[in-house]
């Protein structure tokens, strides 16, 4: 992997003689590190909003949604776990010990999850828009929660897209 995630040599006290795992707090200050943290927060908020909606409405309302909320929850929670693992790997420089091309792997991961999350957000947004036309249904179905989940899903899509672009640029840089 290129040295784009390095922020300079570690302090002498933090270096181990066997080249072991060391904390790299400078990673958080780099653009990829900040974007990774932002995406973790956005995906977590997206998941929390939809999980809160599912807990608030009656189960018959959720069944009327025809599985769209489950797809949305899967497309927010799975990439959140993946990005959390990637964050820990990069924070402790463990990614340098794994023989894979991290920029390409992360770029493809971000693109795939961004597309799936965009589809899920469109489904949630369409249901919120459909139920929003009827004020009585909107109160029962908590359309505002669905609208917020859709918005945070789109924000997460943008964040994942920018992160995919950064990984692509790192991969293609000389």
Q: In this structure, how many other beta carbons lie within 10 angstroms of the beta carbon of residue 64?
A: 14
Four-CA torsion 99, 161, 31, 24, nearest 10 degrees:
-30
12 part of a folded domain: no
Give, as one character, the DSSP assignment of residue 16: -
The number of distinct structural domains making up the chain is: 1
Relative orientation angle of helices 31-56 and 143-172, to the nearest 10 degrees: 160
Q: What is the pLDDT of residue 58?
A: 66
Query: In this predicted structure, what is the pLDDT of residue 35?
Result: 94
Query: Could you tell me if residue 18 is inside a domain?
Result: no
Which of the residues in the chain have pLDDT under 50? Answer: 1-3, 7-17
What's the pLDDT at 144?
A: 85
At 15 the pLDDT is 47
Taking the whole predicted model, whether its pTM rises above 0.95 is answered as no
pLDDT given for residue 4 in this prediction: 52
Is 66 a domain residue? yes
Burial of 124 (0-12, 13-18, 19+ CB in 10 A): buried
The reported pLDDT for the residue numbered 136 is 67
Residue 97 resides in a domain:
yes
Quick check: is 19 in a domain?
Answer: no
- Is residue 8 domain-resident? no
- Cβ(148)–Cβ(101) below 8 Å: no
How many C-beta atoms surround the C-beta of residue 88 within 10 A?
Answer: 11
**Residue 29, domain member (yes or no):** no
Each residue's pLDDT tens digit, 56-71 = 776 666 666 667 788 9
Distance (Å, rounded) from C-alpha 111 to C-alpha 106?
Answer: 8
Asked whether residue 94 is domain-assigned, the answer is yes
Q: Which residue has the tokens 């990005």?
A: 83
Output the pLDDT for position 56: 78
Give the model's pLDDT for residue 64: 65
Which residues constitute the domain of residue 158?
Answer: 41-172
């Amino acid at each position: 992997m290129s040295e784009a995630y390095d922020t300079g040599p570690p302090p002498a006290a933090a270096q181990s003689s066997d080249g072991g795992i060391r904390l790299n707090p400078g990673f958080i200050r780099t653009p990829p590190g900040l974007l990774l943290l932002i995406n973790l927060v956005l995906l977590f908020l997206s998941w929390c909003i939809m999980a809160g909606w599912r807990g608030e409405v009656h189960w018959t309302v959720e069944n009327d949604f025809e599985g769209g909320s489950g797809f949305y929850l899967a497309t927010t929670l799975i990439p959140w776990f993946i990005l959390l693992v990637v964050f820990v790997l990069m924070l402790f420089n463990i990614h340098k010990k794994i023989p894979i091309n991290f920029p390409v792997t992360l770029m493809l991961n971000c693109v795939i999850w961004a597309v799936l999350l965009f589809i899920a957000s469109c489904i949630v947004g369409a249901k919120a828009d459909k139920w929003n036309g009827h004020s009585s249904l909107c109160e029962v179905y908590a359309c505002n929660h669905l609208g917020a989940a859709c918005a945070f899903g789109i924000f997460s899509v943008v964040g994942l897209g920018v992160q995919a672009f950064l990984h692509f640029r790192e991969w293609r840089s000389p």
